[in-house]
Structure 1
Amino acid sequence: MKNKLTIYILIAMVLGIITGYIVHENAAPETISGFSKNIKLLGTIFIRLVKTIIAPLVFSTLVVGIAKLGDLKTVGRVGGKAMLWFVTASLVSLLVGMVLVNYFQPGSYIDLSQADNAGLKDLMGKTSEFSLQKFIEHVVPSSIFEAMATNEILQIVVFSILFGVAAANLGPYSKPVINALDVVAHIILKIVGYVMNFAPFGVFGTLAAVVADKGLSIFSFYFIYFGYFVLGIAVLWVLLCTVGYIILGKRMKGLLKAIANPLLVAFSTTSSEAVFPKLTEELERFGCKKSIVSFILPLGYSFNLDGSMMYMTFASLAIAQAYGIHMPIGEQITMLLVLMLTSKGIAGVPRASLIIVLATCAMFKIPPEGVALILPIDHFCDMFRTGTNVLGNALATTVVSKWEGELQEEGAVELQS
């Protein structure tokens, strides 16, 4: 069924693009607007179904994972290895974007007349979310129920770590609660299978809507910008896969095969959240220890967004180039470090990468309205950066499992309990 689902998703992608193109070329503007709005509901339904199960899945699996890891020392060791990977991968991703944008100068090819000013207004209203106060509020929960209701993954992670550590320290007394949460996690993973059957419809609706609205002609204006960005993503993939092969050996190929389905869904829906439950399941089946997957993967969704990080430096500097603004290397490195800090904990925020770029441009005296220049092509860029985020988190989880000596042979267990 897994291979059939992948085929269905690929067919849905092609049909979505063809349908959207036909509508864009033949329908009146008001008809296109109505079609895009309605067909996009298929993608909205799919993503909302997945989001429904993310909060209980993160909480149950993370608490069980920490409790099974044992003492606080083990939690600290595994967490330390994960953060080492996250910080290194983030810096490399930011540097790849910075080097490529300086070498190829993609911003100089951007057509200033193609700005999407309507889309910019929507983003401008969200930049206040990234003040220092809002950042702290984004990390530290005031209510676990509010955090779950709004899918604030980082807040859920913070509470779950506290809960899991406390449960581990209570020993056998907390075992009934841990066992109950373990059952909850397995039930939710079962629901994942049901929800994923709707994925092809979600993919079809999402792509049909954006192509109907924008048309394929968008690539004629942004071909060079988009092409250099995809080149950057390719470079990042080569680096990640090379490091993965050095650490995992021949199993790197098996990992790519195992996560192919989640990668495809993330790519086509531009939502890494949409594949969180399925990715959890596939990594466990691949041989990663359940407790490590439950601990590392939610952290990765907040701290390890490799594709988004690369795009942030790429887009910010490209906008500066479009306006003819020269930024010395020292200033660019300062921007890189700022992005390193401000980008954490944004996984659940729609179009988070662009919001961060908008805030960063304002901070470095780059016209923030320049974000409107890259908005028309952003959906297609988002497909690639979202897929890269999923690869980075799958690789981080698998590598930490390997470092801990807890990576079992693929097929040794169907799903660990």
Structure 2
Amino acid sequence: MGLAIEDVQAAASPRAWYRHLYVQVLAAILLGGLIGHFFPAFGESLKPLGDAFIKLVKMVIAPVIFLTIVVGIAGMRDLGRVGRVAARAFGYFLVFSTLALIVGLVVANVVQPGRGLNIDPASLDPAAVSQYSTAAHETTVVGFLLGIIPDTVVSAFSTGNILQVLFVSVLFGIALASTGDLGKPVLTFLEAVSAAFFKLVALVMKAAPIGAFGAFAFTIGAYGIATVINLIALVATFYLTSAIFVIGILGLVGIANGFSIFKLIRYLKEELLLVLGTSSSEAALPSLLQKMERAGASKSVVGLVVPTGYSFNLDGTNIYMTMAALFIAQALNIELTLWQQITLLLVAMLSSKGAAGITGAGFITLAATLAVVPDVPIAGMALILGIDRFMSECRALTNFIGNAVATLVVARWEGELDRDALREALDGAPLPLAAAPDPAAGPGDDLTIARD
């Protein structure tokens, strides 16, 4: 599927700095922050702009995931290879999700951000977090497993449940791959539909600065900078810990696999600014799929790893859960034994998966984790309710970077990482013109060349 000559020429010519998406999103975030700070009521009223953009993105996420996974699996043909990629991806997710939990636990014990607050548990308001604790009690292992299976194939898409879409996509992709030559017309059709959807994504992303502006103006207007200052120790510790995890641990993973974490972050700057502005990593999911393909990871690996990582590779959320749980205990002067902390860690591993795809998942998983330690009241979550919005941005950024790293690592393990394409992408080199009209290029490639 090629590009028109004028598209290739446009891609080759440099664009004015103000036309780059990351510049527009950054300007929108700064403007939104100023309006939210100086005109808080007006800032709060801009919330529908952010909500509308998130809804636009969520509108295309389910079909994009379905098309990407199905085309990727059906294109493999070798079902044994599908299973191998999935096994390696889940192995990676398990190791690094657990490592993130441990990092959060260790830093919270060393820094002790909640020590000295001396808050009386009787002064807490359980009603403030009742909706989260109720949702946490409803999230069981059995309920989680049954919830993966949709009532109908169509309902998986109508509800927008990512896990259900993943389930249907994998099954359909395996079924299509099993049909052999008979399924080739269907695969060709889905590839064409995929190209159209990625063009739709390009249209939706033009509204990203507006969405980031409205979402950030609301956040500052509704919660204010003062809210962060009141609990600055926890916020600062969480951001620092996430930075250590990304730069230190994921940075070493990048070095071991032949790429720089700093160059990867620069390569994904547009998406990261969008995540920062909207506090949602879902907002940048379609673009991440395209960027990972351009960086040399094969379509089949990208199609399997990125969507599953959004549900099962939540590094930022895991750091947040153990750190927030210990912060609450420290603030209430509750001493947790080593066994209780290990129990928190083990339950957090399960609860972070059980709340995947649920609105407010970070707070719900924290409630489910605290429920296993009766000494720490769930009502203690009210202490961090006001600043959770600010920490959700860091959670989303860390999750996003973690999934980008996971994709490149699994692609390398599979021998499906084009090192030349990775180097060119991370170094900011333009795609060669000769590659543009390649009829074998995927739909994501067309869009990415045109945008970058």
Task: Output the TM-score relative to the length of structure 1.
Answer: 0.92
> How far apart, CA to CA, are the structure 2 residues paired with 1:180 and 1:110?
61
> How far apart, CA to CA, are the structure 2 residues paired with 1:116 and 1:298?
37
Following TM superposition, the consecutive aligned residue runs of length 4 or more in structure 1 with deviations greater than 6 angstroms are 113-118
Deviation at 1:381, TM superposition (A): 0.6
> How far apart, CA to CA, are the structure 1 residues paired with 2:309 and 2:66?
15
Specify the code of the residue in structure 2 equivalent to 1:47. Answer: I
Q: Secondary structure at the match of 1:160?
A: helix
**Pair 343,65 (structure 1): closer, same or farther in 2 beyond 3 Å:** same
* Aligned residue number for residue 385 of structure 1: 395
Q: 1:401 aligns with which of 408, 411, 417?
A: 411
Conservation of the 8 A alpha-carbon contact between 1:273 and 1:348: no
* Aligned residue number for residue 36 of structure 2: 20
Instruction: Return 5+ residue gaps in structure 2 as ranges.
Output: 1-14, 422-430, 444-452
* Aligned residue number for residue 152 of structure 1: 161
**Pair 111,218 (structure 1): closer, same or farther in 2 beyond 3 Å:** farther
Q: Secondary structure at the match of 2:417?
A: coil
Q: 2:53 aligns with which of 46, 52, 71?
A: 46
* Aligned residue number for residue 273 of structure 1: 282
Deviation at 1:254, TM superposition (A): 4.1
Deviation at 1:159, TM superposition (A): 1.4
* Aligned residue number for residue 7 of structure 1: 23
* Aligned residue number for residue 150 of structure 2: 141
Q: Secondary structure at the match of 2:39?
A: helix
Conservation of the 8 A alpha-carbon contact between 1:21 and 1:216: yes
Q: Secondary structure at the match of 1:15?
A: helix
Deviation at 1:257, TM superposition (A): 2.7
Deviation string, structure 1 residues 85-107 (Cα, Å, up to 9, x no partner): 10111011000000001111112
* Aligned residue number for residue 327 of structure 2: 318
Conservation of the 8 A alpha-carbon contact between 1:116 and 1:376: no
Deviation at 1:324, TM superposition (A): 1.3
Which aligned pairs between 1:194-343 and structure 2 lie closer than 5 A?
194-238=203-247, 239-249=249-259, 252-343=261-352
Q: How many equivalent pairs are there? A: 407
Conservation of the 8 A alpha-carbon contact between 2:65 and 2:165: yes
Q: 1:351 aligns with which of 330, 348, 360?
A: 360
* Aligned residue number for residue 95 of structure 1: 102
Work out the percentage of aligned pairs sharing the same amino acid. 39
**Pair 246,96 (structure 1): closer, same or farther in 2 beyond 3 Å:** same
Deviation at 1:13, TM superposition (A): 0.9
> How far apart, CA to CA, are the structure 2 residues paired with 1:225 and 1:242?
26
Deviation at 1:22, TM superposition (A): 0.7
Q: 2:178 aligns with which of 151, 162, 169?
A: 169
Which aligned pairs between 1:61-140 and structure 2 lie closer than 5 A?
61-110=68-117, 112=119, 119-140=128-149
Conservation of the 8 A alpha-carbon contact between 1:308 and 1:385: yes
Deviation string, structure 1 residues 159-192 (Cα, Å, up to 9, x no partner): 1111111111111111111111111111111111
Conservation of the 8 A alpha-carbon contact between 1:50 and 1:273: yes
Q: CA RMSD in A?
A: 2.0
Conservation of the 8 A alpha-carbon contact between 1:94 and 1:309: yes
Q: Secondary structure at the match of 1:344?
A: helix
> How far apart, CA to CA, are the structure 2 residues paired with 1:45 and 1:97?
34
> How far apart, CA to CA, are the structure 2 residues paired with 1:361 and 1:36?
34
Deviation string, structure 1 residues 280-310 (Cα, Å, up to 9, x no partner): 1111111111111111111101110110111
Conservation of the 8 A alpha-carbon contact between 2:139 and 2:354: no
Deviation string, structure 1 residues 367-413 (Cα, Å, up to 9, x no partner): 10111100111111111110110101111111111111111222375
> How far apart, CA to CA, are the structure 1 residues paired with 2:218 and 2:117?
24
**Pair 215,117 (structure 1): closer, same or farther in 2 beyond 3 Å:** farther
Deviation string, structure 1 residues 248-288 (Cα, Å, up to 9, x no partner): 235x5543332221111112211111111011111111111
Instruction: Return 5+ residue gaps in structure 1 as ranges.
Output: 25-31
* Aligned residue number for residue 27 of structure 1: none
Specify the code of the residue in structure 2 equivalent to 1:106. Answer: P
Specify the code of the residue in structure 2 equivalent to 1:316. Answer: A
Q: Secondary structure at the match of 2:335?
A: coil
Deviation at 1:318, TM superposition (A): 1.1
> How far apart, CA to CA, are the structure 1 residues paired with 2:201 and 2:186?
23
* Aligned residue number for residue 29 of structure 1: none
Conservation of the 8 A alpha-carbon contact between 1:46 and 1:199: yes
**Which deviates more from structure 2 when the two are superposed, residues 39-48 or residues 222-231?**
222-231
> How far apart, CA to CA, are the structure 2 residues paired with 1:119 and 1:44?
23
Deviation at 1:321, TM superposition (A): 1.2
**Which deviates more from structure 2 when the two are superposed, residues 142-151 or residues 48-57?**
142-151
**Pair 14,146 (structure 1): closer, same or farther in 2 beyond 3 Å:** same
Conservation of the 8 A alpha-carbon contact between 2:150 and 2:164: yes
**Pair 183,118 (structure 1): closer, same or farther in 2 beyond 3 Å:** farther
**Pair 249,4 (structure 1): closer, same or farther in 2 beyond 3 Å:** closer
> How far apart, CA to CA, are the structure 2 residues paired with 1:342 and 1:220?
30
> How far apart, CA to CA, are the structure 2 residues paired with 1:202 and 1:119?
28
